[in-house]
Chains A and B, each alone.
Chain A
Amino acid sequence: MKPDMNADKDPVRRMRRRGCPFCNDAAMSIDYKDPGTLKYFISERGKMVPGRVSGACSKHQRELTTAVKRARIVALLPFTTNY
Chain B
Amino acid sequence: MAEAAKREHPLREYEVIYILRPDVTKETAEKVATRVSDVVARMNGKLTRIENWGRRLLAYEINHSRRGLYVYFTYQGDGALVAELERNFRMLDEVVRFQTVKIGEEAVQAEIDPERIKFEAEDAPAEIDEGLTLEQRLGLVASPRNEYHVNDDLREEEEALEDFS
Q: How far is the CA of A49 from the CA of B150 in the complex (A)?
A: 11
State how many residues of chain A have any CB contact under 8 Å with chain B: 28
- Chain B residues lying within 8 Å of A49, measured Cβ to Cβ, are 154
Cβ of B59 within 8 Å of any chain A Cβ, yes or no, is yes
- List which A24-83 residues lie within 8 A (CB) of chain B: 32-33, 35-36, 39-40, 42-44, 49, 52-54, 70, 72-79, 81, 83
Q: How far is the CA of A73 from the CA of B16 in the complex (A)?
A: 12
- Chain B residues lying within 8 Å of A73, measured Cβ to Cβ, are 97, 99
Q: How far is the CA of A44 from the CA of B147 in the complex (A)?
A: 10
- Chain A residues lying within 8 Å of B84, measured Cβ to Cβ, are none
Q: Are B157 and A15 in contact (CB under 8 A)?
A: yes
State how many residues of chain B have any CB contact under 8 Å with chain A: 26
What number of residue pairs across chains A and B have CB atoms under 8 A from each other? 62
Interchain nearest-CB distance for A33 vs B (Å): 7
Q: Are B59 and A44 in contact (CB under 8 A)?
A: no
- List which B94-119 residues lie within 8 A (CB) of chain A: 97, 99, 101
Cβ of B158 within 8 Å of any chain A Cβ, yes or no, is yes
Q: How far is the CA of A35 from the CA of B59 in the complex (A)?
A: 10
- Contact A53 to B60, CB < 8 A, known contacts A40-B151, A70-B99, A75-B19: no
Q: Are A70 and B101 in contact (CB under 8 A)?
A: yes
Question: Among the listed A15, A52, A75, which residue makes an inter-chain contact with B97, where contact means beta carbons less than 8 Å apart?
Answer: A75
Cβ of B45 within 8 Å of any chain A Cβ, yes or no, is no
Q: Are B148 and A53 in contact (CB under 8 A)?
A: no
Interface positions of B (Cβ within 8 A of A): 17, 19, 58-62, 68, 70, 72, 97, 99, 101, 141-142, 148-151, 154, 157-158, 160-161, 163-164
Given contacts A15-B164, A72-B59, A78-B59, 17 further A-B contacts (CB under 8 A): A12-B164, A15-B157, A15-B160, A32-B101, A33-B17, A33-B72, A35-B142, A39-B150, A40-B151, A42-B150, A54-B154, A70-B99, A74-B70, A74-B97, A75-B19, A78-B60, A81-B148
